[in-house]
């Protein structure tokens, strides 16, 4: 709901956000700081039981799958393919473990993948860009690594430091994390859309069908997430699908706004729509699968 409200306000009243693209990185860093206040990174890393599986899924999610999508979609549109690659190559969303727990997936695996992919993204996402866009886009890869490292590692270190040395302050902040992050995410989407309002409205017909294709991409991501580990338990497959399909698009928005064209940024921002709208059908499908298995079990 917040996403659609932010987009609507930005399209109707873009004046306040047009000149503030430079703030997106700081907003994203603040969001990560507050989210990570509730996360004990060291404990999560220590709790990973199958490092080989975690690293395999992380490598597929961060490198091979986004590059696969890029090369499949490149002939369709290089900028569209690049936007999809940026979205897929982002780390697992911070809500992955919560969603996995809600749907009875492997919550520990989802949490581990969230932290591992977040730690790796400052290096893997620029690698994806350097391979995918080496001929079509001139990008400062070193600058991208530095920007992503600051975006991810600074709030991560600050959050863990506050948790360790300012326990009472961290506890007080944790109580208000949800409300603060709703406002910050509203600002993030509002500024990103407001800055590109004219381009979105001028190319509305084109973006509508590109958005339709994006829904197909998201459907494919759910399926790929399951088949990446064919012999694993259903709970593991579920967590794999969640961490692949529900990435931290805020990171993709930061990279797109700083290093790529306005069209790539618009496409990355619009990907928030299928991200949100696929959640309901995905939950329904998993719940239907669980109820069918429960009925089958009672007949045995």
**Where does the chain have alpha helices with state H?**
2-12, 24-36, 41-47, 51-59, 65-73, 78-88, 96-102, 107-132, 141-165, 167-175, 177-195, 197-202, 204-227, 234-245, 249-259, 262-270, 272-277, 279-299
The whole-model pTM stands at 0.90
Assigned domain for 13 exists = no
Assigned domain for 5 exists = no
CA–CA distance, 141 with 150 (Å, rounded to integer): 14
Domain containing residue 156: 20-299
Between residues 58 and 3, the one the model is more confident about: 58
pLDDT digits (tens, 9 = 90+) for 207-253: 888 899 999 999 999 999 999 999 899 999 999 999 999 999 999 99
Assigned domain for 6 exists = no
Whether the predicted pLDDT of 162 surpasses 80: yes
The token pair that represents 131 in the structure block: 């391979």
Which pLDDT value is given to residue 151? 94
CA–CA distance, 271 with 5 (Å, rounded to integer): 15
Domain at 107, CATH number: 1.20.1530.20
Assigned domain for 134 exists = yes
pLDDT digits (tens, 9 = 90+) for 22-50: 899 999 999 998 888 888 888 899 888 89
Whether the predicted pLDDT of 299 surpasses 90: no
For residues 115 and 41, the answer to whether their CB atoms sit within 8 Å is: yes
CA–CA distance, 99 with 104 (Å, rounded to integer): 9
Whether the predicted pLDDT of 55 surpasses 90: yes
Per-residue pLDDT band for 289 (boundaries 50, 70, 90) equals confident
Number of domains in the chain: 1
Whether the predicted pLDDT of 178 surpasses 90: no
Assigned domain for 104 exists = yes
Which pLDDT value is given to residue 67? 96
Assigned domain for 7 exists = no
Dihedral-angle region of residue 233 (phi above 0 means left; psi in -120 to 50 means alpha; beta otherwise): beta
Radius of gyration from C-alpha coordinates of the chain:
19
Cα end-to-end span (Å), the chain: 43
Per-residue pLDDT band for 87 (boundaries 50, 70, 90) equals very high
CA–CA distance, 71 with 64 (Å, rounded to integer): 11
Assigned domain for 14 exists = no
Assigned domain for 44 exists = yes
- pLDDT exceeding 90 applies to what percent of the chain? 50
């Amino acid at each position: 709901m917040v996403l659609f409200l932010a987009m609507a306000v930005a399209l109707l009243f873009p004046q306040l956000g047009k000149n503030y693209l430079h703030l997106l990185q700081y907003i994203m860093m603040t969001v990560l700081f507050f989210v990570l206040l509730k996360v004990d990174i060291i404990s999560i890393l220590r709790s990973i039981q199958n490092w080989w599986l975690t690293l395999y899924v992380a490598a597929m999610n961060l490198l091979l799958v986004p590059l696969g999508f890029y090369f499949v979609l490149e002939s369709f549109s290089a900028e569209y393919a690049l936007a999809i690659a940026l979205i897929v190559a982002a780390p697992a969303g911070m809500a992955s473990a919560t969603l996995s727990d809600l749907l009875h997936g492997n919550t520990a695996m989802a949490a581990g993948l969230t932290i591992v992919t977040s730690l790796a993204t400052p290096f893997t996402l620029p690698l994806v860009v350097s391979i995918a866009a080496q001929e079509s886009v001139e990008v400062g890869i070193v600058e991208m690594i530095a920007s992503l490292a600051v975006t991810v590692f600074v709030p991560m270190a600050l959050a863990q430091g506050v948790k360790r040395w300012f326990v009472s302050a961290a506890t007080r902040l944790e109580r208000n994390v949800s409300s603060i992050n709703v406002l910050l995410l509203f600002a993030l989407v509002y500024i990103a859309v407001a800055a590109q309002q004219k381009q979105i409205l001028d190319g509305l017909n084109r973006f509508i069908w590109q958005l339709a294709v994006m829904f197909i991409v998201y459907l494919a991501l759910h399926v790929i997430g399951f088949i990446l580990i064919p012999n694993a338990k259903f709970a593991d497959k579920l967590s794999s699908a969640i961490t692949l399909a529900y990435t931290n698009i805020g990171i993709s928005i930061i990279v797109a706004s700083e290093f790529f064209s306005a069209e790539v940024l618009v496409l990355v921002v619009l990907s928030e729509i299928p991200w949100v709208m696929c959640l309901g059908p995905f939950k329904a499908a998993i719940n239907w699968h669980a109820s069918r298995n429960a009925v089958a079990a009672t007949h045995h």
